A and B are shown apart, each in its own frame.
Chain A
Amino acid sequence: MRTPLFTLVMLAVAAALYLSFRFVGNDYLFFLGYVVLQYVVIATAWNILGGYCGYVNFGSAGFFAIGVYSTIFFYNIGQAPEEVFPEFLLTPMKWIFPLPLPVLIVLGGVFAGLIGLGMGYLTLRLRGVFFAIATLALAVVLETFIVNWSFVGGSRGAYVIPPENIPVFGPFIQYLFVLMLLLAVASVVAARLIERSRLGIGFATIRDDELAAETSGVPTLRLKLIATVLSGALFGMAGAPFPFYIGYVEPNSAFNLSYAVNAIAMPMIGGTTSWVGPMIGALILSTLQQVVTVTISSAVNLLITGLLLIGFVILAPNGLIGLWHDWTGRRSKS
């Protein structure tokens, strides 16, 4: 399927989802849908570096939090511009601030992408487990930085008060949901586009054999940097609306390890070599977690992730996509 057509199909599915949620009319569905879609973006973001290039990023929570805190930063400026800007700038700045949410999402993406570029330069010469540890360390460094930065709340945390209602969409959560829905569609379309492009072939050569890739003319370092920037930017964009969703953010929640774990578990369970895997993995696992949180307890949901991850790594290392290929392959042979 060509990309424009695929995009239209995805948008149609998204529209149908939104309309059916509206038809049901329960706001909880939107809250649940937001989280699930957020994980679709996160899983897809992780997979660009982890699945396509084979570089396992344990610092996903760090990139997500950059998006979160970029929003907090600009939101706080918007709350009290007179404390930030000198007199002569105040009038134009009052025009600009508070920034609308789509702009905040883009900004979150830009900052996380830039940090991704920096992290790439520092760590991409490392391979395998060393790279994974370096990314985890980066997240810890970032968290320490945020904890000590009082403008964004430091360890006390920061409040964001979303408006209750918004024109066209009605309840604010519906607006958030639609934004995340569009972001999820955009990230899946982007992942699919990358996978089929020259860039995606280059990524796959890095995953398969970096040395052979270089001697075949693939500029591996540059491609890895592109991958970290894209992946980081998507994480940041997934994190940017989060303060508006949750209302109160503190470093522990923004840098929560569960983001890093889920970012890895979802593509692994779905299958890492194609855009379908992270999407399916995120939809299934995250829905399951939400259901479990409501019906059993919120403590159980990470346990489920862990158990499923172990199960899949042992029994189906190529994820659900791998199982599907095995199954269809066997059927076509017999």
Chain B
Amino acid sequence: MSQIMGQPVTEVVDDDIAAPLLGIDQLGKRFGGFVALDTVDLSVPTGQRLGLIGPNGSGKSTLVNCISGTLQNETGSVRFNGQRVDGMPPHQRARLGLARSFQLPRPFRSMTVAENIRVPLLYTVGARHGVHLTQSELEDRCLEVLSLVALQDKARKSPLDLTQVEMRKLELARAMAAEPKLLIADESMAGLSHSEVEDIVALLIRLNQRGITIIMIEHIMRAVMAFSQRLVVLVSGRKVADGAPEDVIKDKDVVGAYLGT
């Protein structure tokens, strides 16, 4: 087992001192006989940029699905902002401030790009206590969110007319429109060019500077290293490393998992 396991190199470490924004405790998920997640612990403090890596099939997406509610975990617990969220349907978690993007973009195909952004504005932001958005506020916010990802000129287009990178930006924009406290970006850069990857990393860092905690799942190591303040590695459903990125990538378990020992 890794030496740095369980000792995240961050300012906020102890749950007793400051409750983390996201607290995952002994999380387990099986698919039939296959153990996708095996007692995973993870706590993410507010404002952190966390990178989550691991080989294919290591359980990264399952973890994201259990956090966002797309899948329900079988054992362990997920706490978000001091509240237990496991068992909650995804839309309630979204309203609490948990947003995610999907690995393969899943736009609402029959709507325009702007209407795609309206959905979380209406159903997540608009459903929070004491928030009421008028039509003009809605339109302003749509454009504001779209301009963050430089899609404002495509507002009236169908998502099907977008390029791959634009589609991924729309996916992120839709997650951002919900004004989340925690944003989980699930492989939002796969298949993108060098400069497009830099675009999206810069975007995520900008969002983080606005106070949004971000978990980024990624295979592109250049992006991961540029983005992450902390790096967590999953292998076969177990957390094998957790700490400062420079330390983690030198860890022999991690190297072993990726290259074979």
Residues of A within 8 A of B (CB): 198, 201-202, 204-205, 207-209, 211-221, 273
Q: Are A207 and B94 in contact (CB under 8 A)?
A: no
Binds A, one of B77-85, B100-108, B199-207, B223-231: B100-108
Interface presence of B111 (CB below 8 A): yes
Residue in A198, A209, A218 whose CB lies within 8 Å of B91: A218
25 A-B Cβ contacts within 8 A? A198-B123, A201-B118, A201-B122, A202-B122, A204-B108, A207-B110, A208-B108, A209-B106, A209-B108, A211-B90, A211-B102, A213-B119, A214-B69, A214-B70, A214-B90, A215-B68, A215-B70, A215-B175, A216-B119, A216-B123, A216-B124, A216-B174, A217-B119, A218-B91, A219-B92
Q: How far does the alpha carbon of A217 sit from the alpha carbon of B122 in the complex, in Å?
A: 9
Interface presence of B86 (CB below 8 A): no
Question: Residues of B contacting A218 with CB < 8 Å?
Answer: 91, 119, 123
Closest to B124 in A: A217
Q: Are A217 and B127 in contact (CB under 8 A)?
A: yes
Residue in B91, B102, B107, B110 whose CB lies within 8 Å of A217: B91
With both chains docked as a complex, state the minimum distance between the C-beta of B115 and any C-beta of chain A, in angstroms.
7
Residue in A202, A211, A217 whose CB lies within 8 Å of B178: A217
Q: How far does the alpha carbon of A267 sit from the alpha carbon of B28 in the complex, in Å?
A: 46
Q: Are A219 and B122 in contact (CB under 8 A)?
A: no
Chain A facing B: main interface SS: helix
Q: How far does the alpha carbon of A221 sit from the alpha carbon of B126 in the complex, in Å?
A: 18
Interface residues of B in 163-217 (CB under 8 A from A): 174-175, 178
Interface presence of B87 (CB below 8 A): no
Interface presence of B238 (CB below 8 A): no
**Number of B interface residues in the complex (CB < 8 A):** 30
Q: Are B109 and A217 in contact (CB under 8 A)?
A: no
Q: How far does the alpha carbon of A204 sit from the alpha carbon of B89 in the complex, in Å?
A: 19
Question: Residues of B contacting A219 with CB < 8 Å?
Answer: 89, 91-92, 123
- Most chain B beta-carbon neighbours within 10 Å: one of A212, A214, A215, A219: A215
Q: Are A211 and B122 in contact (CB under 8 A)?
A: no
Closest to B89 in A: A214
With both chains docked as a complex, state the minimum distance between the C-beta of A91 and any C-beta of chain B, in angstroms.
51
Q: A211-B106, A212-B108 are in contact. Are A217 and B94 (CB under 8 A)?
A: yes
Interface string of B20-55 (1 = CB under 8 A from A): 000000000000000000000000000000000000
Q: Are B99 and A215 in contact (CB under 8 A)?
A: yes
